[in-house]
Homo-oligomer: A and B are copies of this chain.
């Protein structure tokens, strides 16, 4: 283990080494903080913990917190419980902050992940006072070597007045060199993003930072709050099977090459199960262009099924990290971590022809998708990158089980209680019962396809009934507005949609 001094290559910066408590004193009420981290990887731990302790004794230090995506409990948990987070962008998965967001006491806006960085540069969200960036080390030139995520770290360092660096010695050294940092110019000077293959490197492995911006360097040795992945259950397995059947048929009909096109998959158990199913795919040389690399991608890189993966973060489970983090040197020439502005960029996603596979919270009979809001009102996590991929993909696939809560909730409803992805952006819906192919179908045809192919038998007749009665009134997309949300009301009042 190197000493912290040795990990600060730039000698003039060594006198910035301090304690997390001292660094936390730099943070003042009303500031906007830009924190590294994406889908709890690579986020700062020591300074947020110290800030929370300071707040415990001195009272809340209210701040606006930006990150790449979700972060760990040291940040969203402790800072929320001590009343420090007043505003939060652009995504979260933490129980404490979620409760406050839904109470309206933390102001939250979930924003397409690819939009964050440019809107910050355009000045739309005001000044950024402090960037807090987790690092492996600082180079001789003063540049930052990031850890398990890139996220929005580049734009935070560019935009913030001051930078606090947390050197985390619990992160694997094998991450050194895995990153590719590239920031586009603002219009009207922006040039094409020169990625034409998943594996293209277009920037620098280090995040450039003017040394005079760095005001504190602290040590931490806390691991990322990796979350365990559930084993693939029967429903997830059947969803994965139906998806692969669909993709096979696309290959057979000549609409996809046998090695497919670059794959994107959301985060979580279903997403991981779907990718795990690719172990059986008949061709090698699959590629991944996505925002998170979970265990399944590591496994498929290891087996050789996937030849290259581009992402904004590594997000293994604790088991996955134990298995692969000491072997990162082996994978480094087959993984690149990019800023989320690039991993999620419409230009690149569309050019590469990504196959987007994301999880839906709720789907309606015309193919609109709710990704975020239970019962239309209660925020779960946020839209994340799903919209970036869904809108720009070669093929846009949404996956979900047909029911939830032991069958009390139908994931397929007459009218989504909240809409994040519209009918215009959804090609395929897959449940454990089948795949509905909506391409080129009118709404009436779509509702037929979705109800017959994807819905659970407990709800199929109810959905058919709604469709039939709605169509009496005519209209391109027939609805009975006075009962469009009656299923959600039934759930709220009676505890079940049945």
Q: Which residues of A contact B (CB under 8 A)?
A: 87, 89, 101-104, 107-112, 115, 118-119, 122-126, 186-188, 190-194, 196-197, 253-255, 257, 261-262, 346-347, 350-353, 368, 373, 375-379, 383, 387, 391-392, 394, 417-422, 424-425, 427, 439-445, 470-471, 473-479, 481-482, 484-485, 488-489, 492
Contacts and interface: CB of A to CB of B under 8 A. Distances in A.
Given A102-B476, A109-B442, A383 B481 contact: no
B442 A352 contact: no
A335 B285 CA distance: 45
A220 B418 CA distance: 49
A376 B419 contact: no
Given A188-B197, A193-B192, A351-B190, A482 B475 contact: no
Contacts of A418: 477
A482 B444 CA distance: 25
Contacts of A425: 112
B439 A124 contact: yes
Contacts of A261: 187-188
B378 A476 contact: yes
B481 A378 contact: no
Contacts of A424: 110-112, 115, 383, 387, 420
A439 to B, nearest CB: 5
Contacts of A482: 485, 489
A488 to B, nearest CB: 5
Contacts of A111: 424
Nearest to A197: B188
Given A351-B190, A420-B422, A440 B89 contact: yes
A181 B379 CA distance: 45
A444 B104 CA distance: 7
Contacts of A108: 442, 476
13 contacts: A102-B474, A104-B444, A104-B476, A122-B255, A124-B440, A346-B350, A377-B479, A378-B475, A378-B476, A379-B477, A391-B391, A422-B422, A485-B485
Nearest to A189: B196
Nearest to A119: B439
Contacts of A377: 470, 473-479, 481
Contacts of A383: 424
Contacts of A421: 422
Contacts of A379: 475-477
Given A108-B476, A420-B424, A476-B377, A188 B445 contact: no
| A89, A119, A186, A188: most-surrounded residue (chain B CB, <10 A) | A188
Nearest to A126: B440
A471 B187 contact: no
Nearest to A184: B351
Contact of A253 (B123, B427, B439, B445): B123
A290 B341 CA distance: 24
A212 B150 CA distance: 53
Nearest to A108: B442
A387 B383 CA distance: 17
A165 to B, nearest CB: 26
| A186, A197, A261, A353: most-surrounded residue (chain B CB, <10 A) | A353
A378 B478 CA distance: 8
